C-alpha cells in the first residue's frame, strides 16, 4: 500500500486563526414564535411601543391612599380611613378616592389617580368599613410608576443579542408573539470509510458502527447549528466529489474519515480539486488528519475517522466556527486546577490532548486510544501536554479544560 505523507503540519493556534478568518456570520433571518425564541440570536433592535407598566401600579398588597393623610399616623394613634372600594386583580376602580378615604388594592393593580402611595396590609388593621393605618408613608411609597420597566421609544433589546429567558419575557411584555432572529447554520454531516456501517445492520468482520455522525450531530446542535445527517460516503473519488458538491448547498460541510494519508484516503485530494484546502494536518494528538477547506464558498471540515479524535477536534475547531457563523458569543472554556491522582507520562512529537475524569477533587486519565469513544464518554475534560517528553507526578496540579455539557 502506497502512503501519502502529510506535508508541514499546522499548529493549533494557526489552525484556529485560519478558521476564524474564513468563517462568515450568517445573514439570513427568519421569524420564530416566541415559544421557540430562547437561545436564538436577535436580528433586529426591539423598540418599546408603549410604557411598561402602562400605568402606575401597586407593588404590595394593601391600601391606596393620599400620602399626606398619613402624616399623623403612629402605632399608638393610627389614622382612620374610610374604605370606599375593593379593587381586585384585573379591575380598574372608576370612582374617586377623596381625603380620608382609601381603596383596597392588590399587587400589580392600577393605582387610582387620586392616590399617590400604597400602605402595605401588614401596617394596617380593619374595623368594619374603617381601615386603621399605623405608619406614615411618603409620596410614591410602594408604587411602580408607569414606564418604570420600559419607556415608549426605548431600545429594549439590541440586534445580535442571544435571547435569554429574561429577554423573551421583555418581548412578551411588549406584546410580541414572535421574534426576528438569524437562521441557524445548516450543517451537512457525512461519514466515510468502507468499514463503517449504519446501526441496525449486522457487523461483518472488519466492520464497525458509525459513531461520528451521532457525536457530530450533538456538537452541531449544542453550538447553534442545524445538523443534517447525509449518510455514509464510499471510498470513491467520484462519490466524494458528489458529496462535496452536495455539501456546498449547506452552510458548512463536515466529513469524518478519509482525511488521513493512506492510499484510499481521497478526501483531501477531492477538496483540492473542487475548491481550496486551507490546511490539512494539525500538530496535535489525537487529531492530526484534520482538514479545513472550502468548496464553492462553503467551509468544509474533514475530521479524523477515529471517534475520540473526531469528537475532540470538533470541540476544538468546529465549535468555534459554528458559534461565529451562528452569531453566538465565543464559547468560554471553563478550567479547573486540581492535583493529578497518579503519575502521568507524555511522550509525543505533537501537542497532546489527554482526556481525564474528575473524582474526589483529583484528575485521572481516561484516554485510551483515538479509536476508543469511551475516552470521551468517561471524560470530564482534558489536559493539554506540550510536545516532547513530560512527566506529571502524583499530586502535582494540572489545569483541566472542562468539556461543554448540556
State percent of the chain over pLDDT 90: 76
Report DSSP state, residue 376: H
Residue 252 predicted with pLDDT over 70? yes
Residue with grid cell 510536545, as numbered in its chain: 387
Q: Where residue 349 falls among pLDDT bands split at 50, 70, 90? A: confident
Evaluate whether 257 touches 270 at the Cβ level (below 8 Å): no
Residue 3 predicted with pLDDT over 60? no
Residue with grid cell 401600579, as numbered in its chain: 57
Q: What is the pLDDT of residues 267-298, one digit of tens each?
A: 889 999 999 999 999 999 888 889 999 999 99
Angle of CA points 125, 129, 131, to nearest 5°:
30
State percent of the chain over pLDDT 70: 95
Q: Where residue 69 falls among pLDDT bands split at 50, 70, 90? A: very high
What is the rounded distance in angstroms from the CA atom of residue 300 to the CA atom of residue 185? 13
What is the rounded distance in angstroms from the CA atom of residue 377 to the CA atom of residue 111? 58
Instruction: Give me the torsion for CA of 2, 7, 11, 17, rounded to 10°.
Output: -110
Q: Where residue 2 falls among pLDDT bands split at 50, 70, 90? A: very low
Evaluate whether 147 touches 154 at the Cβ level (below 8 Å): no
Q: What is the pLDDT of residues 49-67, one digit of tens each?
A: 999 999 999 999 999 999 9
Question: What domains are defined for the chain?
Answer: 12-27+184-325 (3.40.980.10), 29-50+159-182 (3.90.105.10), 57-144 (2.170.190.11), 335-402 (2.40.340.10)
Between the alpha carbon of residue 315 and those of residues 176, 222, 277, 310, 372, the distances in Å are: 36, 10, 21, 9, 17
Q: What is the pLDDT of residues 292-337, one digit of tens each?
A: 999 999 999 999 988 888 998 999 999 999 999 999 999 888 999 9
Whole-number pLDDT of residue 369: 74
Mean pLDDT of all residues belonging to the chain: 92
Residue 188 predicted with pLDDT over 60? yes
According to DSSP, the β-strands at 46-47 and 186-192 are unpaired
Residue 5 predicted with pLDDT over 90? no
Amino acid at each position: 500500500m502506497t502512503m501519502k505523507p502529510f506535508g508541514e503540519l499546522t499548529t493549533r493556534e494557526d489552525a484556529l486563526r485560519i478558521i476564524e478568518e474564513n468563517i462568515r456570520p450568517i445573514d439570513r433571518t427568519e421569524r420564530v414564535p416566541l415559544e421557540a425564541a430562547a437561545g436564538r440570536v436577535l436580528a433586529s433592535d426591539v423598540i418599546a411601543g408603549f410604557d411598561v407598566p402602562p400605568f402606575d401600579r401597586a407593588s404590595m398588597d394593601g391600601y391606596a391612599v393620599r400620602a399626606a393623610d398619613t402624616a399623623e399616623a403612629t402605632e399608638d394613634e393610627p389614622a382612620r380611613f374610610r374604605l370606599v372600594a375593593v379593587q381586585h386583580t384585573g379591575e380598574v376602580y372608576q370612582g374617586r378616592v377623596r381625603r380620608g378615604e382609601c381603596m383596597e388594592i392588590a399587587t400589580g393593580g392600577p393605582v387610582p389617580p387620586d392616590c399617590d402611595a400604597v400602605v402595605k396590609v401588614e401596617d394596617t388593621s380593619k374595623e368594619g368599613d374603617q381601615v386603621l393605618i399605623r405608619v406614615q408613608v411618603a409620596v410614591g411609597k410602594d408604587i411602580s410608576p408607569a414606564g418604570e420597566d420600559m419607556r415608549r421609544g426605548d431600545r429594549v433589546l439590541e440586534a445580535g443579542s442571544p435571547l435569554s429567558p429574561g429577554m423573551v419575557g421583555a418581548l412578551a411584555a411588549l406584546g410580541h408573539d414572535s421574534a426576528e432572529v438569524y437562521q441557524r447554520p445548516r450543517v451537512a454531516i457525512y461519514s466515510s470509510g468502507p468499514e463503517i456501517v449504519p446501526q441496525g445492520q449486522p457487523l461483518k468482520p472488519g466492520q464497525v458502527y458509525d459513531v461520528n455522525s451521532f457525536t457530530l450531530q450533538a456538537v452541531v446542535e449544542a453550538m447553534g447549528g442545524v445538523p443534517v445527517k447525509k449518510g455514509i460516503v464510499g471510498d470513491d473519488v467520484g462519490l466524494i466529489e458528489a458529496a462535496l458538491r452536495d455539501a456546498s448547498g449547506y452552510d458548512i460541510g463536515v466529513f469524518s474519515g478519509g482525511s488521513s494519508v493512506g492510499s484510499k484516503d481521497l478526501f483531501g485530494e477531492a477538496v483540492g480539486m473542487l475548491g481550496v484546502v486551507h490546511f490539512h494536518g494539525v500538530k496535535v494528538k489525537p487529531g492530526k488528519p484534520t482538514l479545513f477547506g472550502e468548496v464553492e464558498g462553503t467551509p468544509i471540515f474533514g475530521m479524523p475517522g477515529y471517534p475520540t479524535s473526531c469528537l475532540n477536534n470538533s470541540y476544538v475547531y468546529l465549535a468555534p466556527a459554528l458559534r461565529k457563523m451562528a452569531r453566538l458569543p465565543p464559547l468560554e472554556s471553563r478550567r479547573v486546577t486540581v492535583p493529578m491522582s497518579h503519575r502521568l507520562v507524555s511522550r509525543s512529537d505533537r501537542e497532546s490532548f489527554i482526556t481525564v475524569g474528575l473524582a474526589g477533587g483529583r484528575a485521572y486519565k481516561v484516554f485510551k486510544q483515538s479509536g476508543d469513544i469511551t475516552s470521551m464518554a468517561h471524560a470530564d475534560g482534558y489536559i493539554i501536554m506540550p510536545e516532547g517528553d513530560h512527566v506529571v507526578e502524583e499530586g502535582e496540579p494540572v489545569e483541566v479544560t472542562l468539556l461543554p455539557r448540556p
